[in-house]
């Protein structure tokens, strides 16, 4: 073993020695010090090995938040295996897809009809353990002591399902090294210091909650787990465990303010983002770069969480700030050539926190890593001061007179018009240019704007060749999740002749 290696198992071992009295995990009645967590992880790893889990194998968690996700992650890591905490609220069909795609060797699950149905229909073989007594008996039967499996930091250890690039969700694989590197960058940006306590009240099948659980773990802090966001219980836990931070966004914060009307809970241990006067009065407003920038930046599961931090460019021109100190970012065109500042291209990245590809997608992985840079599938722009702006997903490209035009960029420009409520952009066949840009626009109530005025507005915002040649007005943009349903728009408004089609 090289003297340079560091795995999650090494981190846990260091905390066992360095924090014998410190609490690692709290969950309901469960309260584990680092040595207690370490001993459970050893037994769990040995039990999983006994159930046939080997290096590279997947372990699947189907349930709500639990300290068991952390211990399954660490136990999988000790074996060179991979834990996937998946969204248990999916339909039986979606869960069946996950089982087929991930082919786990072991599944730990919480009571759910959909899970039971997916299990019944699955032809694969795995050890199924119900979280609770069955899991505890399994763990207790494991031998003491760390398993002998040699684990290196480049092995994947966490799998998180994320957006569909080829129409199916993919399990992004994150290595020990990627998780430790991302955690370290977060320790810095968030100024997470000795004694930090994190309340995991967001979903742990999502990178946003996991990244703080892992940074807290790397630091040797305390993670508090609660099954799901429940405002009163979150308030109670913040007070009881003196939480420094919880996984919270706007509406979740409003929920806490309402739940704590009258100030029955002391939330002053929370050092967090300023939100409303009521909220700011309840907590301690934090001035770390992460909190001062209102958690600004750009990220995705495939980069371990955050790729850029607004905290590294507060006051700059781009609202995604600058690259994390452990990555390098380039804005590339379709040929892999860096575009000039001010031009839109694909956000591409290299560095320590990047994922190791999607599970079982060799072709997609090769395509995403072409040229030695991870291609995020998102569009961005480097501003003149060097800061970055996230434009939108690179869902498709229009080619007009040999120029590449990304709908997301034109849509952003359209939406800056004061009368435009929503907009989407498609390419329509054109004899002379191949394609031309067509805007589909939803006006605000009672607004009246001409086609020409819309086109002129866009011309003032971005390069002239990207402006629409045609504008259609409509009542609502059809959507697929958060993004326009381009196929439906093409069908309705005459789109076609896309490059490669």
Q: Write out the residues near a copy of itself by the rule CB under 8 A.
A: 1-6, 10-11, 13-14, 17-22, 154, 177-178, 180, 183-185, 187-188, 191-194, 218-220, 289, 311-314, 322-323, 325-330, 341, 349-352, 354, 369, 372-374, 382, 384-388
Q: How many CB atoms lie within 10 A of CB 422?
A: 18
Cβ closer to a copy of itself: 383 or 490? 383
Q: Which residue, 13 or 434, is less far from a copy of itself as judged by CB?
A: 13
CB of 330 to a copy of itself, least distance (A): 7
What is the nearest approach in angstroms of a copy of itself to the Cβ of residue 109?
Answer: 33
Minimum Å gap between C-beta 205 and a copy of itself is: 24
Of the two residues 57 and 302, which places its CB atom closer to a copy of itself in the complex? 302
79/214 with CB nearer a copy of itself: 214
Q: How far is the CB of 433 from a copy of itself (least distance, A)?
A: 32
Helix 8-18 and helix 207-219: axis angle, to 10°? 40
Nearer to a copy of itself, 369 or 488 (CB): 369
Q: How far is the CB of 242 from a copy of itself (least distance, A)?
A: 16
Picking from 248, 254, 193, the residue whose alpha carbon sits closest to that of residue 226 is 248
Beta strand residue intervals within 68-195, DSSP E: 82-86, 106-109, 127-130, 156-162, 170-175
Phi-psi region of 419 (alpha: psi -120 to 50; beta: other; left: phi over 0): alpha
CA distance 482 to 421: 15
Nearer to a copy of itself, 366 or 453 (CB): 366
Strands in 233-387 per DSSP E: 245-246, 271-272, 284-285, 297-300, 305-309, 322-323, 327-332, 344-351, 374-382
- CA dist., res. 198 & res. 183, Å (int): 13
Tokens of 309: 């931090």
The C-alpha atoms of residue 189 and residue 191 are separated, in whole angstroms, by 6
β-sheet bridge partners, residue 172: 160, 358
Q: Are 311 and 297 in contact (CB under 8 A)?
A: yes
> Measured over all CA atoms, what is the biggest interatomic distance in the chain, rounded to whole angstroms?
75
Cβ nearer to a copy of itself, comparing 18 with 124: 18
For a copy of itself, the closer CB: 3 or 476: 3
- Measuring CA to CA, which residue among 473, 496, 471 is closest to residue 486? 496
Q: From CA 335, how far away is CA 420, in angstroms rounded? A: 33
Q: How far is the CB of 49 from a copy of itself (least distance, A)?
A: 22
Q: How far is the CB of 292 from a copy of itself (least distance, A)?
A: 9
Q: Is the dihedral of CA 119, 124, 125, 126 positive or negative?
A: negative
Characterize the bridge pairing of strands 106-109 and 58-62. Answer: parallel
3-class DSSP assignment, residue 312: helix
Q: How far is the CB of 357 from a copy of itself (least distance, A)?
A: 9
Minimum Å gap between C-beta 64 and a copy of itself is 29
Tokens of 159: 């799998």
Of the pair 135, 196, the CB lying nearest a copy of itself is at 196
- Cβ burial 56-91 (10 Å sphere, 16+ → b, else e): ebbbbbbbbbbbbbbbbbbbbbbbbbbbbbbbbebe
For the chain, give percent helix, strand, coil, nearest 5.
35, 25, 40
Minimum distance of a copy of itself from residue 65's CB (angstroms)? 24
* Closer residue to a copy of itself in complex, CB, 129/332: 332
H or E element in which residue 140 lies: helix 133-140
For a copy of itself, the closer of residues 142 and 289 by Cβ is: 289
Work out how close the CB of 235 gets to a copy of itself at its nearest, in angstroms, rounded to a whole number: 28
Which residue lies nearer to a copy of itself by CB, 384 or 460? 384
Q: How far is the CB of 359 from a copy of itself (least distance, A)?
A: 17
């Amino acid at each position: 073993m090289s003297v340079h290696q560091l795995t999650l198992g090494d981190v846990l071992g260091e905390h066992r020695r360095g924090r014998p009295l410190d609490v690692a995990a709290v969950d309901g009645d469960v309260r584990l010090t680092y040595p207690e967590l370490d001993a459970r992880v050893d037994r769990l790893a040995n039990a999983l090995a006994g159930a046939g889990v080997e290096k590279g194998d997947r372990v699947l968690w189907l349930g709500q938040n639990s300290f068991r996700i952390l211990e399954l992650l660490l136990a999988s890591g000790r074996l060179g295996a991979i834990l996937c905490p998946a969204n248990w609220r999916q339909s039986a069909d979606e869960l069946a897809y996950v089982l087929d795609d991930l082919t786990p060797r072991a599944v730990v699950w919480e009571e759910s009809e959909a899970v039971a149905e997916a299990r019944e229909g699955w032809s694969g073989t795995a050890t199924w353990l119900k979280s609770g007594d069955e899991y505890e008996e399994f763990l207790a039967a494991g031998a003491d002591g760390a398993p002998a499996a040699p684990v290196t930091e480049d092995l994947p250890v966490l799998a998180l399902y994320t957006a569909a690039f080829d129409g199916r969700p993919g399990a992004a694989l994150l290595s020990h090294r990627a998780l430790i590197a991302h955690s370290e960058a977060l320790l810095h940006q968030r100024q997470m210091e000795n004694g930090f306590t994190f309340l995991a009240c967001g979903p742990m099948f999502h990178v946003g909650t996991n990244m703080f659980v892992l940074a807290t773990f790397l630091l040797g802090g305390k993670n508090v787990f609660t099954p799901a966001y429940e405002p009163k219980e979150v308030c109670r836990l913040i007070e009881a465990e003196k939480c420094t931070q919880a996984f919270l966004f706007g509406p979740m914060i409003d929920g806490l303010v309402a739940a704590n009307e009258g100030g029955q809970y002391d939330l002053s241990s929370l050092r967090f983002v300023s939100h409303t006067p009521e909220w700011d009065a309840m907590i301690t407003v934090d001035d770390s770069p992460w909190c001062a920038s209102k958690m600004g930046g750009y990220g995705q599961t495939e980069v371990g969480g955050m790729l850029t931090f607004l905290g590294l460019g507060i006051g700059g021109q781009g609202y995604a700030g600058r690259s994390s100190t452990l990555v390098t970012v380039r804005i590339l065109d379709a040929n892999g050539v860096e575009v000039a500042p001010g031009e839109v291209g694909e956000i591409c990245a290299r560095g320590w926190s990047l994922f190791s590809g999607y599970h079982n997608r060799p072709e997609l992985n090769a395509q995403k890593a072409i040229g030695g840079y991870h291609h995020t599938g998102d569009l961005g722009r480097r501003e003149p001061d060097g800061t970055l702006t996230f434009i939108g997903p690179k869902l498709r490209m229009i080619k007009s007179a040999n120029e590449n035009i990304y709908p997301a960029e034109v849509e952003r420009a359209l939406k800056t018009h004061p009368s435009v409520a929503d907009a989407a952009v498609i390419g329509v066949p054109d004899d002379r240019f191949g394609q031309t840009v067509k805007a589909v626009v939803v006006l605000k109530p009672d607004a009246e704007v001409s086609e020409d005025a819309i086109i002129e507005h866009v011309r003032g915002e971005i390069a002239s060749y990207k402006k629409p040649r045609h504008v259609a007005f409509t009542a609502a943009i059809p959507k697929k999740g958060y993004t326009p349903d381009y196929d439906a728009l093409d069908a309705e408004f005459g789109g076609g002749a896309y490059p490669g089609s």
